[in-house]
Amino acid sequence: MNAHTFVGLSPFAKNSVIQKIDRLNNKTVSTYSDDDNIKKTPTEIINIICEYFSVDYDHILSTSSKRELVMPRQIAMQIIRNAIPDMSLKKIGVIFNRHHSSVIYAINTADDLIDADVKFRYDYNEILKLI
């Protein structure tokens, strides 16, 4: 989280948001793997994606619209949504400081790019292997 994340929030609201994010990030989930022993939290999934694309965790959660951050963010949202079907779009939005409609847009964009863009599909599949 960066300093701008909580601008305008009271100390109580800030703590409430931090606690919600911590609970969401600590939820363990099964991923796409056939190996049921592989469990990942949203934080672990995001960290793997950050490492793959060489971007900072805080940057992927930022409001930046730079392509080098948008693509990893879209992939992260798409993988988390598919890996944790019971996690609502609103909860995914809380993790990424986004409205649920932005999460829907990101997931749909990722799905379209997986079908249409060879490089995006390659990166996506390589990340799935890491998870």
Other CB atoms within 10 A of residue 104 CB: 16
What secondary structure does DSSP assign to 3-67, as a single string? Answer: GGGGTT--HHHHHHHHHHHHHHHT--EE-S-S-TT-EE-HHHHHHHHHHHHT--HHHHTSS---H
Which stretch of 3-7, 31-35, 76-80, 94-98 has the lowest confidence by average pLDDT? 31-35
Homologous superfamily of domain range 30-130: DnaA protein, C-terminal DNA-binding domain (1.10.1750.10)
pLDDT per residue as tens digits for the range 81-102: 988 888 899 999 999 999 999 9
Q: Are strands 39-40 and 29-30 parallel, antiparallel or unpaired?
A: antiparallel
pTM, entire model: 0.69
* Mean pLDDT, residues 58-62: 90
* pLDDT: which is higher, 15 or 48: 48
Distance CA 95, CA 79 (A): 13
What residues does each domain of the chain span? 30-130
What is the rounded radius of gyration, in angstroms, for the C-alpha atoms of the chain?
15
Considering the chain, what is the average pLDDT of its residues? 79
Model confidence at 36: pLDDT above 90 = no
Distance CA 128, CA 131 (A): 5
